Amino acid sequence: MATQPISAVSKITIRVLAFARLRELLGFGSRDVELAEGATLDALWKQLASGNGEIEGLRATTRFARNGELVAGETVLRTGDEVALMPPVGGG
């Protein structure tokens, strides 16, 4: 009896845009990122912040926009999405 091959996890590719302090900490303004199919914005954040305590500490004040609309961290991403990471606006 032949065995079935174990299929690899399907992947999606999204474009991430980082602004202000996040741009400095991540070291890019725009980058394509590969994630597992069904990944959420929170999963993207964890991947980007992995091993960087300073970035991890900005989660509570960072907002996400997916394809130009503000969305919550539990939003599921799809291939081709553009995600903007927006820190709080300061100034006076």
- Whether 1 is in a domain gets the answer no
CATH of the domain at 41: 3.10.20.30
Residue range of the domain that includes 63 = 11-86
**Tally of domains within the chain:** 1
pLDDT digits (tens, 9 = 90+) for 2-41: 555 555 679 999 999 999 999 999 999 999 999 999 999 9
- Whether 38 is in a domain gets the answer yes
Maximum Cα–Cα distance for the chain, whole Å? Answer: 72
pLDDT digits (tens, 9 = 90+) for 57-78: 899 999 999 999 999 999 999 9
- Whether 46 is in a domain gets the answer yes
Extended beta strands in 1-92, E state: 11-18, 30-36, 63-66, 69-71, 82-86
